[in-house]
Amino acid sequence: MALHYVERLAPTPLAAAIECVWSVSDRVARAARPPDRVIPDGRAELIIHRGDRYRRLVDGRLVRQPAAFLAGTLSRPWIVQAPARIDTVGVRLRPGGFTALFGTSLAGTADREVPLAELPAPLTALAAAIRRARGPASARRAAETWLLAHAAAQLPGGRVAAPACAGVVRAIHRRRGRAGVDALSAVTGLPRRRLERLFRRETALSPKQYIRIVRLTALLHRLDAPDRERLIDIALDAGYFDQAHMARDFKALTARRATGRRDDDGELAAHFTRPDRLLRVLAAE
């Protein structure tokens, strides 16, 4: 039986900070599940395991994840292994969204599982609200209700303002990652050092890393097109020097080849790179 994966898009007051709340569950326990290859997409996520926890491949061995944590923005792929019985909820944040919601820097969190003890204290209450819910749908609603209440209590007008990095992020997305950092600095009017500090604070990545991930996202979307062009043409149009450059970058960020199938990324991870979701990521900023 397939995993039951559902996304609930963020309501308007939260939309500047949050892409969606998602849940994944499976009514039937399965001891042998294929691993998932989670590909960088420029977003940090709050993850709450309501039941058994996933494990992540770290230095050649599978290490159990914390029960609740911030998955720092990825600069490289994660390989994770699902438990026999799955019941997990995630809050997918937009670039800068964590800082806009909680006033805390993401610097130093890239590629890390940051436990609740290192996060703003209110997030313990969010995790508790999600765990109290009776099922995945109730857990998604509980997360949304808590986040709306937090915004109402902590933010002017109960609405999340656009993150400081939002204008720069939009510029990168409009160009589908085909922009250098110096050119981006000139377009936005932000000195390069200030731009780099802003990105470290709000995304945990450097501008160059984020540009690279957006370019990959655009490439992944085109690779799934029914009328796909030749790989070399896609690579050149995406801003890579040649097909070899694209292949190296692709392998570094996805741990697979560009000719590989999206479904081979795993039952859960394949949902994260659906063509409609990638298009939403590219267009939303």
Q: How far apart are CA 143 and CA 248, in angstroms?
A: 39
Quickly tell me which residue has 């997305």 as its tokens.
173
Q: How far apart are CA 89 and CA 127, in angstroms?
A: 9
Rounded mean pLDDT of 6-15?
Answer: 96
- Give the range among 21-25, 96-100, 154-158, 222-226 with minimum mean pLDDT: 222-226
N-to-C CA span, the chain: 35
Which pLDDT does position 226 carry in this prediction? 64
Domains in the chain, start-ordered, CATH in brackets? 4-158 (2.60.120.10), 166-284 (1.10.10.60)
Q: What is the pTM of this model?
A: 0.94
Which pLDDT does position 166 carry in this prediction? 94
Q: Are 54 and 82 in contact (CB under 8 A)?
A: yes
pLDDT of 285 > 90? The answer is no
Q: How far apart are CA 102 and CA 154, in angstroms?
A: 9
Residue 131, classed as helix, strand or coil, is helix
Q: Which residues, at least 6 apart from 229, have a Cβ–Cβ distance to it below 8 Å?
A: 222, 237
Q: Which residues, at least 6 apart from 26, have a Cβ–Cβ distance to it below 8 Å?
A: 1, 3, 4, 85, 86
**pLDDT tens digits for 203-249?**
999 999 999 999 999 888 888 776 667 878 888 888 888 888 888 99
Which pLDDT does position 227 carry in this prediction? 63
Residue 55, classed as helix, strand or coil, is strand
Which pLDDT does position 44 carry in this prediction? 98
